[in-house]
Each structure stands twice: as structure tokens, then as C-alpha cells.
Structure 1
Amino acid sequence: MTEMFTRHDASSAPEAARPIVENTQKGFGFLPAPVAYMAESPELLETFMSGNAAFNKTTLSQLEREVFILTVATTVQCHYCVAMHSAMLTKSGADQELIQALRDRKPLQDAKLEAMRVFTHAVMEGYGHVTRETMEAFLSAGYTKRNALEVVLGLGVYTISTYANRMTEAPLDDAFASFAWHAEH
């Protein structure tokens, strides 16, 4: 379906999306395919970018946010997000066993990070509803009620990007090719 959507650049993007496209290209040194495709809807692109900025300000650590993102991305089967966030985790020096377990949708050795993974799945599967036991397990692992709601924020943000990436079939950019991921069917 990629051919149905335009892979924009700064010159072809709708005017309202151009500043975001230009800033993203400066930040990465290239324009990631998801941004190039999301630029078709400046409102979608702006909402994703501002939502992502808000999610990055939460009280969750960078590693906890990345565990959350990879859990969502593998569940929704967004090949681009899995590759990109695997690359980001690798660049940040995260343990390769952790990254592989996330990519394989396997339990994590770190109990607190595993609680994030399990809780994220529970929130997704329950469409926001979680059992009292699930919430207590999340809180007992060291998270807070605020963190639980930050997971909801993250789901809103990453629903935008994963769904848009899947709809447009955003191809994996060369920068993330060595982290390619394919869902098991």
C-alpha cells in the first residue's frame, strides 16, 4: 500500500508539516520513512510528535519507556518501530539479552521491567481495564499510579505511529536495516 501514500520530503510536504519534517531530518541526518508518510496529515504528524515529547517527559525512565515501546510495537507488529527502538536501545548500551527478549516477546529477567511488559500487555488486552491483581503487581514492582496512567499516554502516542506505519507500509530505512524484525505468524 506504500504506493498509495506519498513519501514526502521538505519540498513536497504540506506546508503545516514542513517545519516538523525539516527538524526531524536535521535531528536524524535523514528523514525517517514514518515521518515522511505521516507528513501527509500535518495534524497526525504534529500530534504524534507532541505526544512523543510528552511521553518522554513522564516519570518513566528511558529504559522503561523503551521496554514499553517495544512491547507495543511487537504486539501491534510494527516492523519499523521494532527495528528503530532496537537500534536506540543498542545505542544506549542496553543489554542485548533484554533487547532480544523484547523482540521475541519473551519474559524479561529484570523483574521491574518484566512488570512493565506484563502491565502494558494487560492494558492493551483489556482496552484500558486491568484487574486489581494486575494493578497491584505493577505497583508492587515499584511503579506508581502515575506510571500506570503514563502507560495510557504512551499507548495513545504509539497507537498513532504503529498504526500509521502499518497503514502506509513505511519501509525500513537503511539506518535501521541491521535491526530488521518480522513478526512470527
Structure 2
Amino acid sequence: MARFTAVSADQASGATAEVFASIKQALGKVPNAYATLGTLAPEALKAMLAVDKVLAGGPLSKQDQETVKVTISELAGCDYCVAAHSMVGKLVGLSNDALHQIREGQSTGDARRDALVTFVRYLALNPGTLPQAQVDALLEAGYSGEEVVHIALAIAVITFTNVFNRINDTVVDFPKPQ
């Protein structure tokens, strides 16, 4: 059971109602994580959604964005985000096998995706400045400096939702990943 109470989209008012209306229009519903964030801090939810909009218009493919988000969520132990981004990953063309391999840090057979997973896992698991070899490996896999910035941005936004969902123990309203 979640630790914080969320208002339903139908009962929301003010800034919360506005952000819920835009989410409901885009997704058909307001997922539990968004509902709780929007109830408690609608401006924080708006900021998070604005970052996702920047990512959507950026150079990373949707598959790369979901690869980053699934990898970080798995490492953080955020069951909510693992489920949500595994579902979105499927919607953008990642197979169940690839998603499982991404979560486990195993080879997917796609050298570029594997370099991304390796980079993100190394960054998440090792404090301090990254060794040049880690950055070089990502660049050699074909990622640009601009894409590296967007990888960092994707990590930042998913880390926010991971942390909040872990604090809240948000009830998962997405299918469990296979």
C-alpha cells in the first residue's frame, strides 16, 4: 500500500487538475506514480514531464531512452519503474528477451545497445569520475556528445521517479515484466 494518498483525476483541482488532464489526454489514464506526485507537488510532476519532453525531442531513440530507464530502475530496485518502462520498452520495439537481458546486464546481441547498458551500469555502480575508457567505449559505439548529455538527462529523470516510488512504495499499475 502506498504511503501517500493521491487524489483521482476526477477529484483533482487547480494545478493538479491541469497536469492530470494533460496526462490523461496523452495516456488515457493517470498512472499511480504521476497521481501521487501530482497530488503532493504538481510543479515537480510538471518539471519531470518537461524533462521527458526534452528527451522525446532529443537525439536518443525511444529504445535507447527506455534502455537507460530500465537499466537504472533495475539497479535502483524500483519495481514500479521497471514495470512501467518495460511496458513502454515493448511499445517502442524492445523484445521481452532484450528487456530481460537489459535488466540483467547481459548481452542483447546489439553492440550499440550493449555499449549503452554497460556505460549506464558502470556510471550507476561506480562513484567518482568515469574513466576515459568508459566514455570512449560509448563514443566508439556510435553515440555522440549530444546523446551522452541526453543519456545523463534520462538517468536524472528516472532517478527522481525511482527515488520517489521507493519512498512511497507506489502500487504498481503496469504488467509485471517477463
Give unpaired runs (5+ residues) of structure 1: none
Shift of 1:131: 0.6
Measure the CA separation in 2 of the matches of 1:33 and 1:164: 12
- The one-character-per-residue Cα deviations of 1:65-104 (angstroms, maximum 9, x if unpaired) are 1111111110111111111121122233322221121233
- The one-character-per-residue Cα deviations of 1:98-155 (angstroms, maximum 9, x if unpaired) are 1121233323221100111111122223457211111111111111122212111112
The answer to whether the 8 A contact 2:7-2:36 is kept is yes
Q: Please identify, of 88-97 and 40-49, the stretch whose mean Cα deviation from structure 2 is larger.
A: 88-97
Q: TM-score when scaled to structure 2?
A: 0.89
Letter of the aligned partner of 2:5 in structure 1? T
User: What residue number does 1:99 align with?
Assistant: 99
Please say if 1:43 is aligned against 2:27: no
Give unpaired runs (5+ residues) of structure 2: none
Q: TM-score when scaled to structure 1?
A: 0.86
Q: CA RMSD in A?
A: 1.9
The answer to whether the 8 A contact 1:10-1:22 is kept is yes
CA, structure 1 residues 90+59, in 2 after alignment: closer, same or farther (shift >3 Å)? same
Identical counterparts, % of pairs: 24
The answer to whether the 8 A contact 1:7-1:37 is kept is yes
The answer to whether the 8 A contact 2:73-2:159 is kept is no
User: What residue number does 1:160 align with?
Assistant: 160
CA, structure 1 residues 30+128, in 2 after alignment: closer, same or farther (shift >3 Å)? farther
- The one-character-per-residue Cα deviations of 1:26-81 (angstroms, maximum 9, x if unpaired) are 32222200001101111211111111111222211111111111111101111111
User: What residue number does 2:23 align with?
Assistant: 24
Letter of the aligned partner of 1:31 in structure 2? V
User: What residue number does 2:117 align with?
Assistant: 117
The answer to whether the 8 A contact 1:17-1:45 is kept is no
The answer to whether the 8 A contact 1:74-1:105 is kept is no
Letter of the aligned partner of 2:110 in structure 1? D
Measure the CA separation in 1 of the matches of 2:92 and 2:149: 26
CA, structure 1 residues 171+45, in 2 after alignment: closer, same or farther (shift >3 Å)? same
Aligned residues: 177
CA, structure 1 residues 128+149, in 2 after alignment: closer, same or farther (shift >3 Å)? farther
The answer to whether the 8 A contact 1:128-1:152 is kept is no
Shift of 1:11: 4.7
Q: Please identify, of 15-24 and 65-74, the stretch whose mean Cα deviation from structure 2 is larger.
A: 15-24
